[in-house]
Chain A
Amino acid sequence: MFTYFFRRLLAALPAIFGVIVIVFLIVRLAPGDPALMLAGELATPEILQLTRERLGLDKPWFINTEAFLEQGNPLALFDTQFTAFIVNLAQGDLGASTRTRSPVLTELGNFYPATLELALGAMIVALLIGIPAGLIAAVKPNTIVDYFVTLGALIGVSMPVFWFGLLAILFFSVQLGWFPVAGRGTLAHLVLPAISLGAGSAAIIARMTRSAMLEVLSQDYVRTARAKGLAQRLVINKHAFRNALIPVVTITGLQFGTLMAGAVLTETVFTWPGIGSLLVTSILARDYPVVQGAVLLIAISFIVINLLVDMIYGAIDPRIRYD
C-alpha cells in the first residue's frame, strides 16, 4: 500500500513540476515588464529594483550559461530566475499582492477554505442527485423515468453554470426570498452556489452511473443472483451497484477538479469569497503574484485529489491491488 502510494506520488511529481514551470512562465510570457507586473504598477523605482533583485529578474529564465562560462562552476548554470522562483516557493514566499500588499500565501489561506467548502457542497449535491438518478434510469431502462433522467442530464451538461446560478438567485433569492443573494457564512448561503455548481457534475455522474449499471446488470452473476430468487433491492444494492462503482468513483474524482475550476464562475456569480473569485479579481486588476499563487493552488489541489481517488479504488474494489 505504502509503496504504491509513493510510486503514485512520484509519478505525480513531474506534473507538479510542470505546473510550477507554467505558473513561472505566466508573468514572463505575458506582454510587459515582469518586475512591474509583480511589484504592481504603482511601485516606486526602489521597490522595482528590490523586486528585480529578489526574483533575479536580470538573470536568464532556466539556464545561466554566461555565469557558467565566467566562473567555471557547474552550479552557476542554475543561477537563474527559475531557481530563485523555486527557492522562494519552497519557503512559502510567493511575493505580495500588488493590491492589498499582504503576502500571497496569507491571501490564499484566507480564500481557500471557502472554495473547499463550496466544492465539497457541490460534490455532495452532485452525488445525491447523480447516483440515484443514474440508478433509477438504469433499473428502468427505456421508460419515461429513463428518458427524463437522460434528457435532464443532457440539459445539465449544456447549461452554463453561471446562468443557472443567476436564475437560481432570481427565483429563490429575489422572488421567493428563501436564500441570501450573495456572500458566505451560514449553511443557507451555501445552498444555491452548491446546487448550481453541482448540477453539471450531477448530470455527468448520472450518465456514468446509468451506463455502468446497465453494463453490470447484463452480467452473468446478476442473472444468477436473480435466478436464485434474491429480492430486486438486494440484487441492485449488493451485486450490481458495488461493481458499478469503479467508473463512478473515477468520474467523481475528475469532477472534483472540474468543480474547483467551475468554482471560478460560480464564485463570481454569488460573490463567494473563494480562490476562484480571487483569481478573476486578480487577473482583472493585473495582480500577478496572486494570479500565480491561485493558479498553482488550484492545479496542485487537482493533482492531489486525483491521487486520493486512486487510493480510494482499493478500498471499494479488492481486485485492484497496490503492488
Chain B
Amino acid sequence: MALSTRASAMTDIAPRPAPRRWLRQLLRRPLAATGFAIIGLFLLIVALAPFLAPYSPTRENLRTRYLPPGEGVSWRGPDGQFGLWVSPVTRHPTQGITLDAGRQYPVRLLVRGESWTWLFGLLRSDLRLFGVDGPVRFHLLGTDELGRDVLSRLIHGAWISLFIGGIAVIIGIVVGVPVGALSGYYGGKFDLVVQRLIDIVLAFPGILLAIVLVATLGTGLTNVMIAVGIASIPIYARLVRGSVLSLRDREFVDAARALGRRDLGTLFRHVLPNALAPVIVQSSLQMAVAILFAAGLGFLGLGARPPEPEWGLMLARGREYLATAPHVATFPGLAIMLVVLGFNLVGDALRDALDPRMK
C-alpha cells in the first residue's frame, strides 16, 4: 500500500484533502446537508420505529376506518389550556364520523401504551415517544381502510424501503464491481462477452428488468430485493469498467507490475481503490432508484404482500378510495419522495465534490 501511495504521488495525482476536512466542506453545502439530514432522520426512524410510532402498524379497528388526518384533535383543552387534546371519534356505518367533544384527553410525551418488541424480541417495552393519556386513540395522519394508524404504518414501513434499497445496492456492488473491474482490466474476449451480456440486460429499460425478474422468481419482498439488485449489476459493471480502463495504463499501475505484483493483486490493491469514488456516488443514486423501483413493484402488487406496511403497497391500497380518503395514498408517496430525494441530494453532492472539474 505504501508503495502505491508513493508511486501515485510521483505521477500525476493531486494530494487529496484529508477525509474529515473534505466531509466538513461537503456538509457546508446546504443541499448536501439537507440530504444527509433526511437520510439520518429515516435511519433514526428505522432504528426507533416502535418507540416513535404511537400504535402497532397492523392493529385494526373497524370503528375508525378512513378517518381524515387529525380528526378529533384540537389545540385547546377542556379548560382552555394549550396543547394537543384528543376527543373520541368513531365512524358510524350510516351517520358518518361522530365526535364526542365532551371528553378530551391530553397528548403527552413518553406515554405507556401498547407493548412492543423489537429486534427479534431483544427489546421489549410499552413506552412510546408520544401518545394520548386516556382511553382513546388519535391519528395524526388519519387511518386507512381497516382503521389502522397511517403514521404508525409509515414509521414501521421505513425499514422495508431502506432495507430493500440497501440489499439491492450491495448485490449490485458485490457482483457488478468485480465483473466490471476484470472486464476493464483484462479486456479481450472476456470483456467482449461481458459487454454483450450487459447490452442485453440493459435492453430492458428501467423498472422493466425488475418486473421481468419478479415475473420469473415470483412476487414477494425477498424476490423484489434480488430483482432490483440484479437490475443494478450492469450499471456498476459499466461504471467500474470505465474507470479501470482509464486507470490501467497509468504509471503507478506499471510501477506495481514492474515490482512484480501479480495481475489480480495489482488490480485489487492498486487499480480498484482508485476507481471506487464513482462507485460511492453511484451507490447513493442507486439507493434512490432501488427504493423507487421497490415501491413501484409494491404498487403494482408484485412486491410486499398485505398486511406488510410497505409504502408502495399502502399507496396502491389508498388508490382505491382516493376520492373519499386521499390521505391514505398521499402520505406514503410523500415518504417515498422524501427518502429518495435525500439519497439523490447526497449522490449529487458527492459527485460534485469528487469531480475535480466542479470546483
Instruction: From B288, B296, B326, give the contact of A170 (CB < 8 A).
Output: B326
- The answer to whether B218 touches A299 (Cβ under 8 A) is no
Query: Which one of B212, B288, B312, B330 contacts A167 once the chains associate, using CB atoms below 8 Å?
Result: B330
Tell me if A268 is interfacial: C-beta within 8 Å of chain B.
yes
Which of A21, A155, A163 touches B329 (beta carbons < 8 Å)?
A: A163
Partner of A298, one of B208, B214, B216: B208
B136 within 8 A of A: no
Identify whether the interface residues of B are mostly helix, strand, loop, or mixed: helix
Q: How far is the CA of A169 from the CA of B326 in the complex (A)?
A: 11
Q: Are A154 and B341 in contact (CB under 8 A)?
A: yes
A19 and B208 within 8 A (CB): no
- Interchain CB contact (< 8 A) of A29 among B197, B203, B216, B302: B216
Residues in B with CB closer than 8 Å to A279 are: 211
Tell me if A133 is interfacial: C-beta within 8 Å of chain B.
no
Which residues of chain B (199-231) have a CB below 8 Å from chain A?
199-200, 203-208, 211-212, 214-218
Q: Is B340 an interface residue (CB 8 A)?
A: yes
The distance from the CB of B224 to the nearest CB of chain A, in whole angstroms, is 13
A19 touching B204, Cβ below 8 Å? yes
Give residues 132-166 of B contacting A (CB, 8 Å): none
The interface bits of chain B over 4-38 (1 if a CB of A lies within 8 angstroms of the residue's CB, else 0) are: 00000000000000000000000000010000000
Known: A163-B337, A261-B205. A18 touches B200 (CB 8 A): yes
Chain B residues with CB below 8 A from A164, complex form:
333
Do residues A170 and B212 form an inter-chain contact, with CB atoms below 8 A? no
- Any chain B CB within 8 A of the CB of A174? yes
Q: Which residue of A has the minimal Cβ distance to B217?
A: A30
Q: How large is the interface on A (under 10, 10 to 19, 20 to 34, 35 or more residues)?
A: 35 or more
Candidates B204, B330, B334; contact of A299 at CB < 8 Å: B204
Residue B322 at the chain A interface, CB threshold 8 Å: yes
> Is B337 a contact partner of A283 (Cβ separation < 8 A)?
no
User: Chain B interface residue count: which class?
Assistant: 35 or more
A89 within 8 A of partner (CB): no
Q: Are A162 and B299 in contact (CB under 8 A)?
A: yes
Q: Is residue B60 contacting chain A, with contact meaning CB distance below 8 A?
A: no
A19 touching B203 in the complex, CB below 8 Å, given contacts A31-B218, A166-B315, A261-B208: yes
CB distance from B10 to the nearest CB of A (A): 32
Which residues of A are found within 8 Å of B199, using beta-carbon distances?
A: 14-15, 18
Check A257 against B296 for contact (C-beta < 8 Å).
no
- A140-167, CB < 8 A from B: 154-155, 157-164, 166-167
Inter-chain pairs besides A14-B196, A160-B333, A167-B333, 15 sampled, C-beta below 8 Å: A16-B203, A18-B197, A159-B337, A160-B292, A160-B295, A160-B299, A160-B337, A163-B329, A163-B336, A170-B330, A174-B323, A258-B205, A261-B204, A265-B296, A283-B211
Q: List 22 A-B pairs, Cβ < 8 Å.
A: A16-B203, A18-B196, A29-B216, A30-B217, A154-B348, A157-B344, A158-B288, A160-B336, A161-B296, A162-B315, A163-B334, A163-B337, A167-B330, A170-B326, A170-B329, A261-B205, A261-B206, A264-B300, A283-B302, A295-B208, A295-B215, A298-B205
Across chains A and B, which 8 residue pairs bring their CB atoms closest together, nearest first? A18-B200, A163-B333, A257-B205, A261-B206, A158-B341, A261-B208, A158-B340, A261-B205
